[in-house]
């Protein structure tokens, strides 16, 4: 589904990602771990097509098509979606209006979908204005439900969310990623940034990657990597030069 080859990314004049290689196949969910400031969010924003993130070298291929130079909306139309960790507040723009704009002619039942993630009382509210951490994440999940992407990127979906809401968000994202289907029948793929690993209880992740200093340093079983990091921190990863 997604192939990233020898990717180098600048933010302004500074090179932030160096030689990133990543392959995510249909139906797979990968986890991206790494200390704060290591470049995880930068990678997701680059894959989404945000213009502040300049690809200086390398390619991003999605379903066989080179999307490296595509705008975010063209990528979204092809099925790439993202849950943002800190989405902007848009004064005056009501969540309900935005959902209608996203849904276009798909005729989704927006009030019902909103209700399923307890956001039915937020449809007339300005997007993210005064939302709590959990409300922001539920709003993001709701937008993704309507967008229904094939490749879902999740930037810390559990940060700022209480345990009850993690369960709701986790289950809903699990459905988005077809975790309710047998592994062989799953088509949707995901890439998840997490620090706590709570979200993995709902996502049944296939592979893990550790990012340090703008490089992916190692790959492996996500739960084992997470266990290692929880026990020993990122010190060894930072010192590790094995890629």
Question: Is residue 77 involved in binding other proteins (CB under 8 A)?
Answer: yes
- Give how many residues touch other proteins by CB under 8 A: 29
Q: Which of 11, 19, 68, 90 binds other proteins (CB under 8 A)?
A: 90
Question: What are the respective helix, strand and coil percentages of the chain, to the nearest 5?
Answer: 35, 30, 35
Q: Of 179, 112, 167, 164, which is closest to residue 142 (Cα–Cα)? A: 112
State which residue, 139 or 229, has the beta carbon closest to other proteins. Answer: 139
Helix 133-147 crosses helix 95-103 at what angle (to 10 degrees)?
Answer: 20
Q: Which of 5, 57, 94, 125 binds other proteins (CB under 8 A)?
A: 94
Question: Tokens at residue 136, please?
Answer: 């922001």
CA-based angle 30:31:33, to the nearest 5? Answer: 150
Question: Is residue 227 involved in binding other proteins (CB under 8 A)?
Answer: no
Minimum distance, C-beta of residue 84 to other proteins, in the bound complex (Å): 7
- From the list 60-68, 80-88, 173-181, 232-240, the region that binds other proteins by CB under 8 A is 80-88
Minimum distance, C-beta of residue 44 to other proteins, in the bound complex (Å): 11
Q: Of 120, 201, 154, 128, which is closest to residue 45 (Cα–Cα)? A: 154
Question: Is residue 97 involved in binding other proteins (CB under 8 A)?
Answer: yes
Question: Is residue 106 involved in binding other proteins (CB under 8 A)?
Answer: no
DSSP state string for 23-64: EE-TT-EEEEE--TTSSHHHHHHHHHT-TTEEEEEEEEEETT
State which residue, 51 or 231, has the beta carbon closest to other proteins. Answer: 51
State which residue, 20 or 146, has the beta carbon closest to other proteins. Answer: 146
Question: Is residue 101 involved in binding other proteins (CB under 8 A)?
Answer: yes
Q: Which of 13, 36, 64, 91 binds other proteins (CB under 8 A)?
A: 91
In the 8-state DSSP scheme, what is residue 89? P
CB 137 within 8 A of CB 165: yes
Question: Is residue 115 involved in binding other proteins (CB under 8 A)?
Answer: no
State which residue, 73 or 185, has the beta carbon closest to other proteins. Answer: 73
Question: Tokens at residue 28, please?
Answer: 């797979």
Q: Of 178, 195, 159, 222, which is closest to residue 31 (Cα–Cα)? A: 222
Q: Which of 92, 105, 164, 184 binds other proteins (CB under 8 A)?
A: 92
Contact residues toward other proteins (CB under 8 A) are 48-52, 71-73, 75-77, 81-82, 84, 87-88, 90-94, 97-98, 101-102, 104, 126, 143, 147
């Amino acid at each position: 589904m997604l192939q990233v080859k020898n990717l180098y990314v600048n933010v302004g004049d500074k090179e932030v990602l160096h030689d990133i290689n990543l392959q995510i196949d249909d139906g797979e969910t990968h986890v991206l771990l790494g200390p704060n400031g290591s470049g995880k969010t930068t990678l997701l924003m680059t894959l989404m097509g945000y213009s502040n993130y300049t690809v200086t070298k390398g390619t991003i291929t999605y379903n066989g098509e080179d999307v490296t130079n595509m705008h975010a909306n063209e990528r979204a139309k092809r099925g790439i979606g993202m849950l943002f960790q800190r989405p902007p507040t848009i004064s005056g723009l009501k969540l309900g209006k935005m959902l209608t704009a996203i849904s276009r002619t798909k005729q989704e039942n927006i009030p019902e979908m909103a209700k399923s993630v307890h956001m039915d009382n937020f449809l007339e509210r300005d997007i993210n204005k005064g939302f709590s951490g959990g409300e922001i994440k539920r709003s993001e999940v709701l937008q993704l439900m309507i967008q229904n992407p094939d490749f879902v990127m999740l930037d810390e979906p559990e940060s700022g969310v209480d345990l009850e809401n993690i369960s709701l968000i986790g289950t809903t994202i699990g459905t988005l990623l077809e975790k309710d289907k047998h592994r062989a029948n799953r088509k949707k793929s995901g890439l998840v940034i997490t620090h706590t690993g709570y979200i993995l209880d709902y996502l049944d992740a296939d592979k893990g990657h550790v990012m340090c200093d703008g490089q992916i340093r190692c790959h492996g079983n996500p739960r084992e990597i997470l266990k290692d990091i929880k026990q020993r921190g990122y010190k060894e990863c930072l010192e590790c030069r094995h890629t």
